[in-house]
Amino acid sequence: MSDFIVNWLANVPAFALPYALAALGLIITEKAGVLSLGAEGFLLVGAMSGIGVLLGIGDHPALALVVAAFSAALLSLVYALLVVTLRVNQVIGGLALVFLAQGMTGVIATRAGWTNRPVDGLQPVPLGGLGEVPVLGPILFQHDILVFAAVPLVALVAHVLGRTMFGLRLRAVGDGPDAADAAGIGVAATRYGAIALGAALVGLAGGYLSVGVAKIWVEGMSGGRGWIAVALVIFARWQPWRALAGALLFGGIEALIPRIAAIGVALPQYLVLMTPYLATLAVMIWICLRHDGTSLEPRALGIAHMREERR
Amino acid sequence: MAMALELLGVSKAFDGFQALAKANFAVEAGEVHALLGENGAGKSTLMNVAAGLYRPDQGRIRVRGREVDITGPVEARSLGIGMVHQHYKLVKAFNAVENILLAQGAARYGTGLAEVEAAIRAQGEAVGFAVDLKRPVGSLSVAEQQRVEILKVLVAGAGILILDEPTAVLTDREAEALLVTMRALARQGAAIVLVTHKLGEVQRHADRVTVMRGGRIVASADPASLSAAELTTLVVGATTPQERQPAIRIGGAVLSLQGLVGARSDGLRTLNGLTLTIRSGEIYGIAGVGGNGQTELAEILMGVRRAQDGRIVLAGDDVTETGPKPRRARGLAAIPADRQAYALAGDLSLAENYAVGGLASGRFGGWLRVDRAAIRARTEAAIAAFDIRGARSTRQKASLLSGGNAQKLVIAREFADSPRLVLAHSPARGLDVRATADIHRRLREARDAGAGVLLISEDLDEVMFMSDRIGVMSRGTIVGEFETPADRQAIGAAMVHHA
Amino acid sequence: MPEALPVPLLSAAPEPPRRGRLTVEIRQHATGWHQGLVLAGGLALGMALATAILLACGVGLSDLIQEFVVSVVSSPASLSAVLIQAAPLAIVGLAAAVAFRVRFWNIGIEGQMILGAVAATAVAIHDVGPAPLRLVLMMLVAALAGMAWVLAPALLKIRLGLNEVISTLLLNYVAFNGLLHLLYGAWRDPASSFPNSEQYEAAERLGELGWENLTWALPLAGLLTVLCWWLLNVSRFGFLSRVAEANPRLGEGQGLPMTRVMLAAALLSGGLAGIAGFSICAGVEYRMTQSFFSGYGFSGILIAFLARNNPLGAFVTAILVGVLFVAGQSLQVFYGIPGAMVQLIQAVIVISVAASDFFVRHRVRWVSGRRSDV
């Protein structure tokens, strides 16, 4: 039993990290008042470009992750153009972006021949004896660099959003774009920045999925995690630390599935695979029932801004 | 003496609508300069040009005699121009310090907070404002929010202050205090622009008045040199004065509210045991400062919000637990305050907006087929009968109508079935004088035809002018009832003492 | 009477030069011509981008013309393939249009298709009911199953305000895993042991019309199109749905059943999606496979979006998307173009059209920046 728990806990970070990174990115974007339904697309783009680097350039996992983040940010400019400059409905824009990313990654990866080719990917940071410590070793010290970077990253985002002028401006744009505009803050520029920055983190999450966890590219491999991350942000009420907690919760559930199968309990595999989605749905219902789920939502979320609007 | 701010030949169009046509305006240091005009005259647009929010299509701006190009709010601020907008430009989730820090554009958050807080305290003491600095401004009263706005402008060191309709949401007493403060600032050398549509304020507090009409400047003068009648004529053009017309025949009760309790969507209880009775053939006016439960009262009466306690008896039947449909069947007609919410759909055609009213009656066809010809014919008849201007076709979107004509369309629909109770919530808000007179005439006609009319308005003058009885509403109850003609001072006192 | 002073005329000072600039304003009204022109422009831009992508992938221009135009009009077999493809596309297009008409973002069409197909297949496998009525029964349970799958998201939105985009999407993944559970378990084809259902019997298949391979799926799609058109454009329900789309609070205030209209439209959408799933299984593949639904959810959204939620327009658009599907298949076979290309092209077209819509809703104007002649 204790083996089971150790194995399970040791696997939680790998499952939780993509959620945590994606949710952090979405928080940045949504704090600036831009709904981000495109997460699933950014995950795919990040995942594919990460593998692309490993297969096309060579075994440089760090470079692969940087490129994953960068490609998602690049694609997010299309989204920004649509919803900030051209003021397209953000639901339509977000969906269109997911479909674009699905089609694009499918075409590029197939033509480049990246599909179903295993890579070495990201390896655990060697910490010598620490990893050998019983129980705590596997749980705490046999992880790759991104896992160790997660908590500082959450702290950084929480600090920047809450305790810097940049964060104040970003939140102002999401909460009161008219007020921000009157204060001389470039609403459009801030939103472009928040979209690109957020997409970079989601892309990093995607890169981690392929380079760090699966170590392979399969079409559509994000498997709805982007949507779960969107729900997670609502659950976290747009707060970075709560997003980390939520990511651990979801990662914990997901990490449990292969563990149960590994100890030989015969469970209907596909029914078990439904659980993350059902759990997400249950959590969202719970939030709605428990309190006014939108009370901490950025007030201008999903609303395009235009100064010279006159009715 | 050099003018503090001059706007010369400023023009601005929105989607083909000429909001400003070569407008000239100048204010000098040390004066309170009223910019007077009706809603839609272009006052706010002109001042937004000065504040850098709108860029003019044509025209020039001079500040302290120097020609400037104001490309945005930052330039305006650096030139010492500060504007307190009618709809406050505050981030509701932020507290006062964060809001002012945001506008200041400090380099560092931590030190910035401390500096701004010190500056706010200093300025606050100088002008006698006390503001809660810690609570999110969204939870402050409108008067407090306004003080935050003014402090924001003062902390930025503005020498040219523009206040857009600053007294619209204040009680008489708060308004008076604000204007006295502005006078004091002017004495210290500030140039104050007071955008308003209230003649009384101009005559009591302004050194100079500039009058706008239809995007143009029609006059600039010393207000002491003009009578109220002359000012009115400048503002609205030639009009015929209206006379109060009291009720002709008052009958039995059509609506009785007993101990009504209700809350806002966020759970805040805003109606606290409100009781009143409205008889057929009378206009019952509810006076009070906005936010004292008027909106919830109107929504509960319409049936779109549930009362938590109390009873609503409409035309003899208890309708407390019912939705809008049975109430409308018993003769309820509603003119809600927010036309875009419960009254009209801007994206639907005039015909569709008209037909939503009679759909249940079956006169526009049954479930299988909507009779578009009947809808068109009836809408055309209503457009003619209610003098709705600017309707080129019944298929035209309702959003293309001006405020007054949109309100006439609402009234045409609501009055189609001779109502027994008319709920009119701020029916003339934002309308020009002519449209207001039209709307008021329709309300009186409904009353004289035997309906009971509940008129809820934040405009005390409107309530005084229209009502046969007046109830003062404060904190969710009627705190005093007055038979008309009533004493304005007494009503004002009732509003303030319970606020 | 003291006269009002005229506005002082101020002398003109020397002017620094000023550059012109573009301004953007909300356009209150756009004529039908204007909208049509912009839509055409957006489509043209999307098709130009799609062509560029295909050219970049090494397909020649003449090959594209051959695949997308010539073969469709010259070969009955190709035309019939397009129409066969168009039938389920039209039905999912209707499903999306009906839901979007009341601003219910039903992104769960694929999940509802799966549920519909599963229900229909259950009837087929277990030979429920007399053979002559089997097909009708299959279609009926497919519709009911699709409705059941959308019921929870619809109620959750109405009662709790839960965002239906996320709930319907999550349910897609649940439905998909449920499908795999069946196909890798109890319903695996005993004949081939492939993960599909066993073949439908003759009584469980939509019959052929007698021209090429066309089946009754096409007339069914046509019938549903006309029904939806009547419902949305003629009946009182259609009027109510327009109010619900434009401003539900207006309807509420008038005592109109806005909530019920929304619920009904959502259920209708789910039911249509269920029928679409049925029509693919019973009209094209004659069994339930593990990917029969793939891509239809997005295409339905695209079709409803391009057709502006008009049922007749959705039918026509479905035929055009059918051309894309069929051409995409032959590009895949003969030119090695990945299957995802069809989705990429659709996404590019949606984005182009959505972007072009900017010029319907806004007026862009050049301001010369010239000083006024004060």
Q: What are phi and psi of B295, to 5 degrees?
A: -60, -45
Of the listed ranges A34-48, A153-167, B243-257, C103-117, the least confidently predicted one is: B243-257
pLDDT at B239: 60
Touching B: A residues 24-63, CB under 8 Å? none
Shortest CA distance to A105 belongs to which of A91, A92, A115, A119? A115
Question: Is C252 touching A (CB cutoff 8 A)?
Answer: no
Structure-token pair, residue C126: 């277990």
Confirm if C302 and C344 have CB atoms less than 8 A apart: no
CB pairs under 8 A between B and C: 155
Chains that touch B (3 or more CB pairs under 8 A): A, C
Residue of A nearest to C297 (CA): A99
A103 to C162: CB separation less than 8 angstroms, yes or no = no
* CB-CB neighbors (< 8 A) of C343 in chain A: 99, 102-103, 106
The label of the residue with tokens 């942000």 reads A233
Q: What is the mean pLDDT of residues B96-106?
A: 89
Confirm if B53 and B17 have CB atoms less than 8 A apart: no
Q: What is the mean pLDDT of residues A166-193?
A: 94
Domains and their CATH numbers in chain C? 73-336 (1.10.3470)
**pLDDT tens digits for range C170-203:** 999 999 999 999 999 999 998 888 899 999 999 9
B478, pLDDT greater than 90 = yes
pLDDT at C372: 44
Task: Name the residue among B14, B88, B103 with its Cβ closest to that of A308.
Answer: B14
Which own/partner contact pairs does C65-69 have at CB distance under 8 Å and 24+ positions apart? C67/C327, C67/C330, C67/C331, C68/C323, C68/C324, C68/C327
Touching C: A residues 241-260, CB under 8 Å? none
pLDDT at C368: 72
C13, pLDDT greater than 50 = no
SS (HEC) of chain B: CCEEEEEEEEEEEECCEEEEEEEEEEEECCCEEEEECCCCCCHHHHHHHHCCCCCCCEEEEEECCEEECCCCHHHHHHCCEEEECCCCCCCCCCEHHHHHHHHHCCCCHHHHHHHHHHHHHHHHHHHCCCCCCCCEHHHCCHHHHHHHHHHHHHHCCCCEEEEECCCCCCCHHHHHHHHHHHHHHHHCCCEEEEEECCHHHHHHHCCEEEEEECCEEEEEECHHHCCHHHHHHHHHCCCCCCCCCCCCCCCCEEEEEEEEEEECCCCCEEEEEEEEEEECCCEEEEECCCCCCHHHHHHHHHCCCCCCEEEEEECCEECCCCCHHHHHHCCEEEECCCHHHHHCCCCCEHHHHHHCCCHHHCCCCCCCCCCHHHHHHHHHHHHHHCCCCCCCCCCCEHHHCCHHHHHHHHHHHHCCCCCCEEEEECCCCCCCHHHHHHHHHHHHHHHHCCCEEEEECCCHHHHHHHCCEEEEEECCEEEEEEECCCCHHHHHHHHHHCC
Which of B39, B46, B48, B102 to mutate: most A Cβ within 10 Å? B102
Query: Residue C202 contacts by C-beta under 8 Å, 6 or more apart in sequence?
Result: none
Touching A: C residues 154-173, CB under 8 Å? 156, 160-163, 165-167, 169-173
CATH number of A2-289, picked from 2.60.40, 1.10.3470, 2.40.50, 1.10.600: 1.10.3470
Task: Name the residue among C4, C243, C253 with its Cβ closest to that of B336.
Answer: C253
Sign of CA dihedral B476, B481, B485, B486: negative
B51 to A178: CB separation less than 8 angstroms, yes or no = no
Q: How many CA atoms lie within 13 A of C210 on its CB side?
A: 0
Task: Name the residue among B93, B102, B266 with its Cβ closest to that of A169.
Answer: B102
**pLDDT tens digits for range A239-251:** 999 999 999 998 9
B92 to A175: CB separation less than 8 angstroms, yes or no = yes
B314, pLDDT greater than 50 = yes
Q: What percent of chain B has pLDDT over 90?
A: 59
Complete DSSP assignment for A175-189: H-HHHHHHTT--HHH
Beta strand C21-26 pairing with B191-196? unpaired
Task: Name the residue among A105, A224, A270 with its Cβ closest to that of C180.
Answer: A270
* CB-CB neighbors (< 8 A) of A176 in chain B: 89-94
Which own/partner contact pairs does A308-311 have at CB distance under 8 Å and 24+ positions apart? A308/B14, A308/B54, A308/C23, A308/C24, A308/C25, A309/C26, A310/B14, A310/B15, A310/B19, A310/B45, A310/C25, A310/C26
Q: What is the mean pLDDT of residues A277-286?
A: 90
Q: Is A224 left (phi over 0), alpha (psi -120 to 50) or beta?
A: left
Query: In chain A, where are the structural domains located?
Result: 2-289
Touching C: A residues 266-305, CB under 8 Å? 268-271, 273-274, 277-278, 280-281, 284-285, 288-289, 293-294
Residue of A nearest to C23 (CA): A308
ipTM: 0.90
Which of A77, A78, A85, A88 to mutate: most C Cβ within 10 Å? A88
C250 to B342: CB separation less than 8 angstroms, yes or no = yes
Confirm if A122 and A211 have CB atoms less than 8 A apart: yes
| Average pLDDT of the residues of chain C | 89
Q: What are phi and psi of B60, to 5 degrees?
A: -130, 155
* CB-CB neighbors (< 8 A) of A184 in chain B: 72-74, 77, 103, 105
Distance from CA of B59 to the nearest CA of C (A): 5
* CB-CB neighbors (< 8 A) of C26 in chain A: 306, 309-310
Touching C: B residues 88-107, CB under 8 Å? none
Shortest CA distance to B291 belongs to which of B482, B144, B78, B487? B144
| Average pLDDT of the residues of chain A | 90
A78 to C185: CB separation less than 8 angstroms, yes or no = no
**pLDDT tens digits for range B188-242:** 999 999 998 788 888 889 999 999 988 899 999 999 998 888 888 888 776 666 6
Residue of A nearest to B51 (CA): A182
The label of the residue with tokens 């496998």 reads C125
pLDDT at B240: 60
* CB-CB neighbors (< 8 A) of C253 in chain B: 302-304, 324, 334, 336, 342-343
A183 to B89: CB separation less than 8 angstroms, yes or no = yes
**pLDDT tens digits for range A283-309:** 889 888 876 545 678 888 888 888 755
Residues in chain A: 311
Distance from CA of B90 to the nearest CA of A (A): 5
pLDDT tier at B302, thresholds 50, 70, 90: very high
B93 to A167: CB separation less than 8 angstroms, yes or no = no
SS (HEC) of chain C: CCCCCCCCCCCCCCCCCCCCEEEEEECCCCCHHHHHHHHHHHHHHHHHHHHHHHHHCCCCHHHHHHHHHHHHHHCHHHHHHHHHHHHHHHHHHHHHHHHHHCCCCCCCHHHHHHHHHHHHHHHHHCCCCCHHHHHHHHHHHHHHHHHHHHHHHHHHHHHHCCCHHHHHHHHHHHHHHHHHHHHCCCCCCCCCCCCCCCCCCHHHCCCECCCCCCECHHHHHHHHHHHHHHHHHCCHHHHHHHHHHHCHHHHHHCCCCHHHHHHHHHHHHHHHHHHHHHHHHHHHHCCCCCCCCCCHHHHHHHHHHHCCCCHHHHHHHHHHHHHHHHHHHHHHHHHCCCCHHHHHHHHHHHHHHHHHCHHHHEEEEEECCCCCCC
**pLDDT tens digits for range B406-457:** 999 999 999 999 999 999 999 988 777 778 889 999 999 999 999 999 999 9
Touching A: C residues 34-63, CB under 8 Å? 53, 57
* CB-CB neighbors (< 8 A) of B87 in chain A: 178
Distance from CA of A33 to the nearest CA of B (A): 13
Structure-token pair, residue A117: 């080719």
* CB-CB neighbors (< 8 A) of B72 in chain A: 184
B103 to A292: CB separation less than 8 angstroms, yes or no = no
Question: Is A293 touching B (CB cutoff 8 A)?
Answer: no
Which of C174, C294, C301, C348 to mutate: most A Cβ within 10 Å? C174
* CB-CB neighbors (< 8 A) of A277 in chain C: 170-171, 173-174, 177
Chains that touch A (3 or more CB pairs under 8 A): B, C
What is d(CA B80, CA A138) in angstroms, rounded to the nearest whole number?
63
* Position with higher pLDDT, C341 vs B292: C341
Residue of A nearest to C181 (CA): A270
Domains and their CATH numbers in chain B? 3-236 (3.40.50.300), 253-347+418-497 (3.40.50.300), 348-396 (no CATH)
Task: Name the residue among B54, B94, B109 with its Cβ closest to that of A164.
Answer: B109
B356 to C256: CB separation less than 8 angstroms, yes or no = yes
pLDDT tier at C18, thresholds 50, 70, 90: low
Touching C: B residues 356-385, CB under 8 Å? 356-357, 359-360, 365-370
pLDDT at A95: 92
Distance from CA of A226 to the nearest CA of C (A): 10
Residue of B nearest to C11 (CA): B8
Over the range A100-133, which residues count as b (16 or more CB within 10 Å of their CB) and which as e? bbbbbbbbbbbbeebbeeebebbeeeeeeeebee
Residue of A nearest to C352 (CA): A82
Q: What is the mean pLDDT of residues A39-60?
A: 96
**pLDDT tens digits for range C255-269:** 999 999 999 999 999
